[in-house]
Amino acid sequence: QTVVTQEPSLTVSPGGTVTLTCASSTGAVTSGYFPNWFQQKPGQAPRALIYSTSNKHSWTPARFSGSLIGGKAALTLSGVQPEDEAEYYCLLYYYGGQLVFGGGTKLTVL
């Protein structure tokens, strides 16, 4: 069974920069996995942030960016705001149309 791994939790200071990563048990994550990133706040449905590694939706704040780093998908927040405190999930596309979410990263802004 394919497992997608994220950091369970990260803490960042307001105004700081933090990078969340997303790894696949099958090996290096490439652009062909079309990494998508989502933000979820308590009691709310997830909100899409990034698609296909680095593309932003029209509503995604400029401080969010996506990339590939060291064989993993990455989500970087620059100039973190208090409202960025949330759970973040990555989603990978596997050959044949299977989709797997990561376990989520709880981001604390402190």
Determine which residue in the list 23, 24, 29, 36 makes contact with another protein, applying CB under 8 A.
36
- Contacts with another protein by CB under 8 A: the residue count is 25
Determine which residue in the list 26, 34, 56, 67 makes contact with another protein, applying CB under 8 A.
34
Determine which residue in the list 10, 19, 26, 47 makes contact with another protein, applying CB under 8 A.
47
Angle 57-100-83 (CA atoms, 0-180°, nearest 5)? 45
**Residue (24 or 36) nearer to another protein, CB:** 36
Q: Should residue 102 be labelled a site residue for another protein when binding is judged by CB under 8 A? A: yes
**Residue (16 or 57) nearer to another protein, CB:** 57
For residues 29 and 12, what is the distance between their CA atoms, to the nearest angstrom?
A: 25
The residues of the shown chain that bind another protein, judged by CB under 8 A, are 1, 34, 36, 38, 40, 45-48, 51-52, 55, 57, 89, 91, 93, 96-104
